[in-house]
Amino acid sequence: MPAAEPLASPPVVPGSARPLAADGRPSLIGLDVDALSDIVRPLDGGDAKRVRLRARQLFHWIHHRGAADFGSMSTLPEKLRRSLANGFSVARPEIVAAQVSADGTRKWLLRFADGQQVESVFIPEEDRGALCISTQVGCTLACTFCHTGTMPLVRNLGPAEILAQILVARDALGEWPVPGEGGGAVRRLLTNIVVMGMGEPLFNYDNIAAALRLAMDDAGLAFSRRRITLSTSGVVPRIEQCGRELGVGLAISLHAVRDELRDEIVPINRKWNIEALLDACRRYPNRRPITFEYVMLAGVNDSDDDARALVRLLADVPAKVNLIPFNPWPGAPYACSSNNRIRAFAAIVEAGGHASPVRTPRGRDIDAACGQLKTSSIRRRRTPGDAAAGPAGCAPMSVTAL
């Protein structure tokens, strides 16, 4: 099929299609079958049943087969494919940088239509692999140990921008389903989604909910809700809603057992304190244990007393504790606890009845570990003499190209 003609004037778009990539065309990524029906109706001219069928086929191509152009959508009539290509896009956001760590972790820096950038990270393990996705450009919260927290919030990501991170990873891993290969029986590297990248997902609830619904749609990416985990620093009023509406696994960034310390290192605690947070956890409508993340900061929150207090605090919550060695970043005001201290802390928590695996830092050599995400564009913007350069005008970071 011929290449798309240049776009003379932006089409009038029903629903929520917005440009995702630099081509400026409204993207159909992240739209459900209803929204796609609104797109197809004026282009195809059939009755309601036919419009619905075409919209379903389009949805399948975009979200199940991962088509990155309309030309490959062989079940759609040629004329419809051409009309779609003239007004719309299924292109990915620009991949500014793609890095691979010595341990196999991969990180992508993506740039969206307005030039804003975020990072996503793929962490392979022996029998599975998790993609860590971002939900905001920067973060409004300023947890003192988190690099993202030092960036100002620029904006929320839309559903397409959240979903596109999964599409980019599937593209790179070559894991789109091929007809006849046996569907779910095929082993994939990318099996889990963790919403633990840049930003606080529950401050962007509607968009993350829309993206995760599509990620869980059986006709689309078909991730089971059991393979999705959302991490929050403690946006209490949204926690129960998230469990009720999405049913995904929950992780809580606890990091301190006393309000006085948590007020300082996880400042959202001043609004919703530990008691309010644990109350919301007890009401979480999902029978799976909640993961409590606890970053190990030397001399700050890592004493035996802290470990014992943690056991008491979680006594009546179905919990698993995840001890995260602190990942350093330039200028960070903390050091990571020693291995012996982490082991002693873990032993107390385990004796108290909670599994407490220590998370192995992954991708530290490419700044891909927890709390290290922060786009190079912002770092550059802050270097002297470069104050005027916004993210859009920045050069890529130095990388190993994939």
Q: Tell me which residues are annotated as active site.
A: 119, 370
CB of 327 to ligand SAH, least distance (A): 4
Residues 6+ apart with CB under 8 A from 62: 28, 29, 90, 220
Written as six digits, the tokens of 197 are 């990248």
Which one of 69-77, 120-128, 230-238, 309-317 is the stretch in contact with ligand SAH (CB under 6 A)? 230-238
Binding of ligand SF4 by 200 (CB under 6 A): yes
Q: Which of 154, 324, 346, 349 binds ligand SAH (CB under 6 A)?
A: 324
Binding of ligand SAH by 370 (CB under 6 A): yes
- From residue 280 to residue 319, the character string flagging contacts with ligand SF4 as x (rule: CB under 6 A) and all else as - is ----------------------------------------
Of 304, 281, 318, 298, nearest to 351 (Cα)? 304
Which 59-78 residues touch ligand SAH, going by CB under 6 A?
A: none
b/e 295-307 (16+ beta carbons within 10 angstroms → b): bbbeebbbbeebb
What does the alpha-carbon distance between residue 29 and residue 162 come to, in Å, rounded to a whole number?
Answer: 10
Which one of 45-53, 163-171, 229-237, 306-314 is the stretch in contact with ligand SAH (CB under 6 A)? 229-237
CB of 358 to ligand SAH, least distance (A): 12
Q: Which of 31, 43, 141, 278 binds ligand SF4 (CB under 6 A)?
A: 141
327 binds, among ligand SF4, ligand SAH, none (CB under 5 to 8 A by kind): ligand SAH
293 binds, among ligand SF4, ligand SAH, none (CB under 5 to 8 A by kind): ligand SAH
What does the alpha-carbon distance between residue 215 and residue 319 come to, in Å, rounded to a whole number?
Answer: 26
Of 83, 89, 90, 86, nearest to 171 (Cα)? 90
Which one of 6-14, 145-153, 332-340, 393-401 is the stretch in contact with ligand SF4 (CB under 6 A)? 145-153
Question: Alpha helices of 45-175 — where are they, by DSSP H?
Answer: 48-59, 78-87, 159-173
Binding of ligand SF4 by 120 (CB under 6 A): no
Which 2-61 residues touch ligand SAH, going by CB under 6 A?
A: none
Q: Which of 66, 149, 220, 325 binds ligand SF4 (CB under 6 A)?
A: 149
Of 248, 263, 273, 275, nearest to 301 (Cα)? 263
What does the alpha-carbon distance between residue 163 and residue 166 come to, in Å, rounded to a whole number?
Answer: 5
Contact present, 239 and 276 (Cβ < 8 Å): no
Which 286-305 residues touch ligand SAH, going by CB under 6 A?
A: 293, 295
CA count, 13 A, side-chain hemisphere, 202: 24
CB of 27 to ligand SF4, least distance (A): 26
What does the alpha-carbon distance between residue 182 and residue 365 come to, in Å, rounded to a whole number?
Answer: 37
32 binds, among ligand SF4, ligand SAH, none (CB under 5 to 8 A by kind): none
Q: Which of 51, 131, 146, 208 binds ligand SAH (CB under 6 A)?
A: 146
Q: How far is CA 149 from CA 36, 202, 256, 301, 370, in A?
A: 37, 15, 17, 19, 12
Contact present, 191 and 128 (Cβ < 8 Å): yes
Which one of 139-147, 176-184, 280-288, 310-318 is the stretch in contact with ligand SF4 (CB under 6 A)? 139-147
- From residue 228 to residue 267, the character string flagging contacts with ligand SF4 as x (rule: CB under 6 A) and all else as - is -----x-------------------x--------------
What pairing do the DSSP bridges indicate for beta strands 155-156 and 136-137?
A: antiparallel
3 state SS of 139: coil
What does the alpha-carbon distance between residue 363 and residue 100 come to, in Å, rounded to a whole number?
Answer: 8
Interacting residue ranges for ligand SF4, rule: CB under 6 A = 139, 141-143, 146, 148-149, 199-200, 233, 253
The residues binding ligand SAH (CB under 6 A) are: 143, 145-146, 196, 200, 231-233, 253, 293, 295, 324, 326-327, 370-371
